[in-house]
Amino acid sequence: MPAAFIGHGNPMNALETNRFTAAWTALGRSVPRPRAILVVSAHWYINATAVTAMPRPRTIHDFYGFPPALFDVEYPAPGLPDLAAEVSDVVHPTWVGADVDSWGIDHGTWSVLVHAFPDASIPVVQLSINADKPLDYHLELGAELAPLRERGVLIVASGNVVHNLRRMDWKLTDDGFDWAQRFDEDAKTRMLTDPTEFATLDAHRDFGEAVPTPDHFIPALYLAGLAGAADARDVDVLVDGYAYGSLSMTAYTLGLSCPPATGEGGSPQPPAGLPPDGSNI
């Protein structure tokens, strides 16, 4: 089963059609139907390693300042409690908690899956990002998840390699600042040629500006770990580009050649009244 990293950007992408969402749709159409989807989302960033283990995970609207239509989005995919035990097994002795009542399906997950798998019929399980752990922990945990690919589990990591909300310029719907482009391009070279060294991007001169907080960067480490456990030559860029100057929208696949998507247009304009840097995207 393939795996992917998606740069999810603005949650409004859930309601839009543009070249990024077209690529996510193409991804969903190209993969063989998975038994389940395991998602590592930037938006479940907690002080533990955990998986959702409820049979009916709720759709979480973990943002504010966006239009009611976005709060109305539901992604009613079932959970798969058995997968929680499988994840725990494959990463043993790393401890993985089973969350039965706190999280669900957050917008890092559903803003992508509404395009990739719109009928929400495939079970979805989320794996949290343990905020207490160093970058190498996440790279190694990603590699340990590799056996799940042989068992019909599609692993999707969702974040943004470059993600600096304080530097966003909403007018730049399809452009990136020089430092954002430098970092994203060097990250791309690393992912495509030497993914096991992806965590050493923390020494890059633009790391501080590109990754002011690690939550959106870390999901890419899971794909890098999986790529290192497979063959880096199996990594492809699904789509790339920038949003608001300070976000990169680059997405990668592992073990999937996806036909080029035909969507047009960059990221959405901000909704009226959104605070300039206060939204949790």
Which residue ranges make up the site for Zn ion (CB under 5 A)? 42, 281
Residue 14 or 42 with smaller CB distance to Zn ion: 42
Q: How far apart are CA 161 and CA 174, in angstroms?
A: 16
CB count within 10 Å of CB 124 equals 26
Which SS3 state, helix, strand or coil, does residue 46 take?
strand
Q: How far apart are CA 211 and CA 165, in angstroms?
A: 10
Residues 87 and 141 sit within 8 Å (Cβ to Cβ): no
Half-sphere exposure (Cβ direction) of 55: Cα atoms closer than 13 Å: 0
Residue 149 or 216 with smaller CB distance to Zn ion: 216
Which SS3 state, helix, strand or coil, does residue 238 take?
strand
* Min CB(22)–Zn ion separation in Å: 19
Residue 52 or 111 with smaller CB distance to Zn ion: 111
Residue 49 or 111 with smaller CB distance to Zn ion: 111
Structure tokens at 161: 């390699």
Residues 56 and 105 sit within 8 Å (Cβ to Cβ): no
Q: What angle do CA 46, 52, 58 make, to 5 degrees?
A: 100
* Min CB(144)–Zn ion separation in Å: 25
* Min CB(150)–Zn ion separation in Å: 30
Residue 159 or 228 with smaller CB distance to Zn ion: 159
* Min CB(107)–Zn ion separation in Å: 7
Residue 42 or 148 with smaller CB distance to Zn ion: 42
Beta strands, E only, the chain: 3-7, 36-46, 50-52, 97-99, 124-130, 153-159, 235-239, 242-243, 247-248, 251-254
Structure tokens at 119: 């009928």
* Min CB(220)–Zn ion separation in Å: 13
Residues 44 and 103 sit within 8 Å (Cβ to Cβ): yes
- What is each CA distance from 58 to 54, 77, 104, in whole angstroms? 9, 9, 5
Residues 25 and 116 sit within 8 Å (Cβ to Cβ): yes
* Min CB(164)–Zn ion separation in Å: 12
* Min CB(119)–Zn ion separation in Å: 24
* Min CB(111)–Zn ion separation in Å: 8
Residue 11 or 228 with smaller CB distance to Zn ion: 11
Residue 47 or 280 with smaller CB distance to Zn ion: 280
